[in-house]
Chains A and B, each alone.
Chain A
Amino acid sequence: MNSDSDQTAGAMNPSVVIDSLSLSFEETLLFDRLSLQVEGGKCTCILGPSGCGKSTLLKIISGNRAIACQGSVRIAPGPADTNLTAWMSQNDLLLPWMTVEDNVLLGAKLRFGVSIALREKAARLLAEAGLGDYRTSLPASLSGGMRQRVALLRTLMEDRPILLMDEPFSALDALTRIRLQDLAARLTRGKTVLLVTHDPLEALRLADTILVLGGSPARVAARFEPGGETPRQAADSVISKAYPLLVKTLMEQ
């Protein structure tokens, strides 16, 4: 196992606390002293218009120091010097020269730490996600939905307590998206998840807390806590009640 998981095993999953974060991009102020909290062990969805800085926010949380910003991003409780985050983007970013299993093991390969135990874990995850028959296939032979499932497993394989997901399902068709949301909700239960999305329905299906970003510079314009177990099904009364209100709030931004 990698050392990160040993440090955090058994501990409560940490929260992400963003305090007075200011950020400019090409002369435009994206955030002006933005403060928000991502609760530990819960799924928080950030909804907001394109270009409001959501992806940049995820990169800052993941520890990208190349982005110039003021304010603080803390992970509490947690050691300041270790990366506790795993990141999943809209593009699956699978390496076309590696088999599906090696792609899932990418983090360990990059750190030269692949072990038999990790290989077994990857095989187990692949089987669980219905990809057991494709372990030795190359990504080019997979469909879009399967590729994104591999990307999800690669993110989970890192075994980090905080998952940063940047519109991970937005490039998929509606049915594939729903299936993948269910799988993601099942496999990420108990982790601190920060999911950026455009899709209000996705937020309502997966989130414990929904933060609507709006305005320029962006601030938290509204906060929803739908309540109940996730993933919520489309027929769930929580969704049918909250959906019109959420869409209205988004339209106002």
Chain B
Amino acid sequence: MIDHGDRPHSPLLDNKEMIFFRLALLGAGFSLLWQLLVTLTGVPHYILPGPGPVCAALVSKWPILASHLLITVSEILAGLAIGTLLGCSCALTMFLSPHLKRWMLPLLVVSQAIPVFALAPILVLWLGYGMASKIAMAVLIIFFPVASSFYHGLRRTEPELLELARVMNAGTWGVMRFIVIPSALPSFAAGLRVAAAVAPIGAIVGEWVGSSAGLGYYMLHANARMQIDNMFAALLLLSVASLTIYFSIDFLLNRLIYWENPQELNYASDV
């Protein structure tokens, strides 16, 4: 998991321009350790191939890998979009209507209590081998973090701000648009970051249970045929795709919540 709280304080590696350098360094270090493990243990290549054969597989199988990648990424993104939309609607409904909240809050908790993986076979049975069942898995997995974080954000609006809006004769929509929803965005962003990190799990599990395309499907087939280097190539590609999705969403969220990025502000002197 990516940690947001503790950023490194080394001046060389601290600024944003260095992020690609850091990623490259991490990747190189990881490959080195990987190769070292393979060389030192002498493990057979059908158990753990080294980085070399995996890269070779990545190049030689690129066209087929790319087509599977496109499907998995589409599933993840569609799941994220629909799940976020549903989660936000649910949170807003619960916030605006105490009556509906009494019915929806248990539903929200239940959606988290049922192990989503156990639902995967049923979803495949209902929605078929295509993308729909995988999108539904991703939606189910991210619905709870988005809905609960946004709902708690909405409820945490400073009461004095609401009092100020009342004295100003503000209507519900004005208060929601200018005060309550922006107040809730940082909390919502925390939930969406979690969602972005777990959404690929939903899509891949869905593909494992039953599918005809996607990286999960490709990995299962490669595994069954002992093409472990192909499997690792797919895994590597999936990791890169997941990271790209996560960092893109993180970037967009930081733009959306621009007021929490203090480095862009010019501090003024006192009165």
Which one of B165, B175, B267, B270 has the highest number of Cβ atoms from chain A below 10 Å of its Cβ? B270
Size of the B side of the interface (Cβ < 8 Å), in residues, is: 28
Query: Do A89 and B265 touch (CB < 8 A)?
Result: no
Query: Do B271 and A145 touch (CB < 8 A)?
Result: yes
**Given A95-B178, A140-B262, residue A111 in contact with residue B168 (CB < 8 A):** yes
Q: Which residues, 154 to 172 on B, are CB-close (under 8 Å) to A?
A: 158, 160-161, 163-171
Q: Is A16 an interface residue (CB 8 A)?
A: no
Query: Do A59 and B163 touch (CB < 8 A)?
Result: yes
Q: Mark A79-113, 1 if CB is under 8 A from B, else 0.
A: 00001011101010101111000000011011110
Q: Is B238 an interface residue (CB 8 A)?
A: no
Q: Which residue of A lies closest to B179 (CB)?
A: A95
**Given A83-B169, A110-B170, residue A91 in contact with residue B259 (CB < 8 A):** no
Query: Do A62 and B171 touch (CB < 8 A)?
Result: no
**What separation, in Å, do the CA atoms of A175 and B271 have in the docked complex?**
10
With a CB–CB cut-off of 8 A, which chain A residues contact B259? 96-97, 138, 140
Size of the A side of the interface (Cβ < 8 Å), in residues, is: 37
Contact with A85, one of B167, B179, B182 (Cβ below 8 angstroms): B167
With a CB–CB cut-off of 8 A, which chain B residues contact A109? 174, 178
Contact with A137, one of B164, B165, B265, B271 (Cβ below 8 angstroms): B265
B134 to chain A, nearest CB (A): 36
Q: Mark B236-271, 1 if CB is under 8 A from A, else 0.
A: 000000000000000000000011101001111111
Query: Do A137 and B266 touch (CB < 8 A)?
Result: yes
Query: Do B265 and A93 touch (CB < 8 A)?
Result: no
With a CB–CB cut-off of 8 A, which chain A residues contact B270? 143-146, 176
**Given A89-B160, A110-B170, residue A141 in contact with residue B178 (CB < 8 A):** no
B257 to chain A, nearest CB (A): 8
Q: What are 28 residue pairs bridging A and B, where the CB atoms are less than 8 Å apart in the complex?
A: A59-B163, A62-B166, A64-B163, A83-B167, A86-B167, A87-B163, A93-B158, A93-B164, A95-B178, A95-B179, A97-B259, A110-B165, A110-B168, A111-B168, A111-B169, A111-B174, A134-B268, A137-B265, A140-B262, A140-B265, A141-B265, A141-B266, A141-B267, A142-B268, A145-B270, A146-B268, A149-B271, A175-B271
